[in-house]
Amino acid sequence: MQLFIVAVGKNRGSAEHHLAEDWLGRLPEAGGIHEVESKLPAGAKRTDDEGIRLLRAVPPGAALAILDPRGKDHSSEDLAALIHNWRDSGYGAAAFAIGGADGHAATIRQKALRTISFGRATWPHMLCRAMLAEQLYRASMILAGHPYHRGN
């Protein structure tokens, strides 16, 4: 199953972006990061525009999860089980969306099959991408039975 991160903001050559690309490059099946950017000023219109752009970046027919502090906290095993269930339900790809500074628009929230949290702390978007990319790789290794993940 192909795994994608769709995110608001451009990478600007950051170390975190390179780290995320490195983890995604290790996936057994191709995946990647799709970035979107809105030129609108901060506010509801911008958040709505970002939501539309994120949805356009999701591969056709892919399962969609959004990252949000109000979502459900998932262990690595939980994430692996979610990806496994989506794969077995016939999805060929999954996209994980990271919104802008003001979060996700209602349009993308309504389309998401799952809302995932990395805890209640606020994380810089580029660091969140890298953390998500590592977790997607880890989930793939759990599903493959690879020793990379040595859970408790």
The predicted model scores a pTM of 0.93
Q: For residue 13, what are its two tokens?
A: 């050559």
- Percentage of the chain with pLDDT > 90? 70
- What integer pLDDT is reported at residue 125 of this predicted model? 86
User: Average pLDDT of 117-121?
Assistant: 87
pLDDT at site 151:
60
Tell me the helix, strand and coil percentages in the chain, rounded to 5. 40, 25, 35
Per-domain boundaries in the chain: 15-122
DSSP sequence for 68-114: EEEEEE--HHHHHHHHHHHHHTT-SEEEEEE-BTTB--HHHHHH-SE
In this model, does residue 59 exceed pLDDT 80? yes
Homologous superfamily assigned to 15-122: SPOUT methyltransferase, trefoil knot domain (3.40.1280.10)
> Closest Cα partner for 30 from 49, 3, 63, 12?
3
- pLDDT at residue 132 in the model: 96
Question: Which whole number is the average pLDDT over 120-140?
Answer: 91
Q: What is the mean pLDDT of residues 126-133?
A: 93
Residues paired with 116 in a beta bridge: 72
Which tokens in the block code for residue 100? 């802008």
Strands 93-98 vs 2-8: parallel, antiparallel or unpaired: parallel
- Encoded tokens for 146: 């690879």
CA distance 21 to 80: 20
pLDDT at 34 > cutoff 70: yes
